[in-house]
Amino acid sequence: MSTIIRIAFRNVIRHKRRALITAITMMVGIGFFIALDSLYNGLDRLSVDDVINFRDSSVKIFSAAYDADRESYPLDKGIPDTTAVGAWLEQDKRVVAVTPRTQFLAQAGNNRDSVYVIGNVVDPVSDAKVFLLKNALIGGYFTQRAGSDRQVIVGKDLATKLRLSVGDTVVLAASTRYEAQNADDFTIVGLLSTSDPALNKSSVFITYDAANDFLDLGGLVTEMDVRLEPRASLPATLADSTAVAAATKAAFPTLAPYSFQDLNKGILTVLKQKRAWGYVMMLFLLLIAAVGIVNTVLMSVYERIREVGVLKALGFRGREIVRMFILEGFFVGCLGSLLGTALGALINCYTIYVGFSLAKFGDVGGGFVFWGTLRGEWNPGSIIFAVIFGMVVAMVAAYIPARSAARMTATTALRFV
């Protein structure tokens, strides 16, 4: 057996050019497969990150009583001891920051028309540690100027609809915590432009300072949002979210914590579907690569049928000859896979550690602001799959012609052209 191995190896070296060509075909196919797969994961990740960074955070906590009545945005049934909950959360290593929020129904108007909106009361400092509103603002964030707590951030599309812009006054009308009607002038400090149309069209953000006065809030907190440590892969991110939500529920039975998955089944479903299409595309990639591999291997085997005759004349048995060719396929496959993995890893390194800044996509019409970076994700599973695929194809491609060649008699083979 070892003789065969040695012969196979030397054959490969002898036909360097052929081996290299086959290996390069494999390299390109496998390399791109790995890179694409990584990018697909990255794309999914972006969509999820957007929701986490702007709307739902990683874990959203309500009191159970509020949760039951969430649809009507009541200004009571808040979380009773937010300091205790916050402290408990922050000692979990997975938690980066926690922030309180309160939602209320309101109308936003320009003294002519008014629109129903969802109001969000935020603590500007802690909110910036959990959510990334600052990154999607046209204009500015809340400032700490004394006496000007009537600041508001509105969705960009909302402002457009009311024909308002940064620096203008918007009239917010809402019911206070005691069901009194209140309305006041707020100054727009920033316009929010995210990938979530709902946020852009019907959201406003004010500070707790303003709300305690405007809504007679008394510091009522109806939800707490949590930012978790970033994880390298999407599945890990989701798992963390579920785990922390469950732990919170166990520690505080009167609360209703929601993991990302609980809140966003719809998005995850759509992502899965898009992914399935992506797999079909990658299948084509592999098919074409297979064509290339098969072709080059076949050709090289057929070219050497005469050698088979020589080998047979020398006394090698058919089976050994077949094994030799398969081994050659194996070696070339190894080379190709190695190169392919290297190429894939190289591209991955770029996409994962540098990434594509989406700002380059720029204005896709209508002033839609893109931000953030598209990054790849390591996926050892698909790397292994691609490598195995390549090697199997190379070996099978070698096996088929080898078999028919090996069956020939020495003389027939020698006469082969």
Partner 1 sequence: MRNIWRNRRRSLLAMLSVALASLLCLVLQGLLGGFQESLVKNFTKNETGHIRVTTKDFADRAELLPVDAMIHHPDQIESAIRTSPAIADKVRIMTERISFGVLLENKGLNKTAVALAGDPKTEESLLYLQRSILPGGHYIDGPSQTIIGAGLAEDLKLSVGDALKVVSEASDGSLQLKKFRIVGIFRTGVTTLDGKIFQVPLGDAKTFLRTEGGSQSIIIMLDDYHEAARVAALISALLEDPTLAVTPWTEIGDYARLIQIETKIFNALDLIVMFLGAFIITNIMTMVVLERRKEIGILKSMGFARGEVLVLFLWEGVFLGIWGSLIGGGLGFLLNVILHFRGVDFSSYFTSLEFPVDNIIYWTVDAPVAAGIVILGCVISGVVSIIPSLRAARMNAVDAIKSI
Partner 2 sequence: MKTRTPRAIFTAALLCTAGAGTCCAAGLSGDEILKRMDANTSYRTIEYDGTLAIYSGDTVRTKEMKATAMGTSKALAEFTNPEDKGTKFLKIDKNLWIYFPSEQDTVKISGHMLKEGMMGSDVSYQDALESDDLFKKYAVTVSGEDTVDGRPCYVLTLDATVKDVQYETRKMWVDEERFVALKQEMHAKSGKLLKVSRVLEVQQIGDRFFPVREEISDQLKQGSRTQFLMADVRLDVPVSESMFSLRNLGR
Contacts to partner 1 by CB under 8 A: 17-18, 21-22, 24-25, 28-29, 32, 36, 43, 71, 195, 197, 200-201, 265-266, 269-270, 272-273, 276-277, 280-281, 284-285, 287-289, 291-292, 294-296, 298-300, 302-304, 307, 361, 364-366, 368, 417
Q: Per CB under 8 A, does 169 bind partner 2?
A: no
Which residues fall within 8 angstroms of residue 341, CB to CB, at 6 or more apart?
Answer: 30, 31, 34, 383, 386, 387
Interacting partner of 3 out of partner 2, partner 1, none (Cβ under 5 to 8 A depending on kind)? none
Site string for partner 2, 273-302 (x = CB under 8 A): ------------------------------
Q: Counting contacts by CB under 8 A, is residue 126 touching partner 2?
A: no
Nearer to partner 1, 186 or 258 (CB): 258
Residue 216 binds which one of partner 2, partner 1, none, with CB within 5 to 8 A depending on kind? partner 2
Supply the minimum distance, in Å, between the C-beta of residue 204 and partner 2.
15
Per CB under 8 A, does 111 bind partner 2?
Answer: yes
Phi, psi of 175, deg, nearest 5: -90, 135
Indicate which of partner 2, partner 1, none lies near residue 109 (CB less than 5 to 8 Å, by partner kind). Answer: partner 2
From 68, 80, 178, 288, residue interacting with partner 2 (rule: CB under 8 A): 178
Which of residues 178 and 361 has its CB atom nearest to partner 1 in the complex? 361
Nearer to partner 1, 6 or 274 (CB): 274
| Binding-site ranges for partner 2 (CB under 8 A) | 72, 74, 107, 109, 111-114, 171, 173, 175-185, 213-214, 216
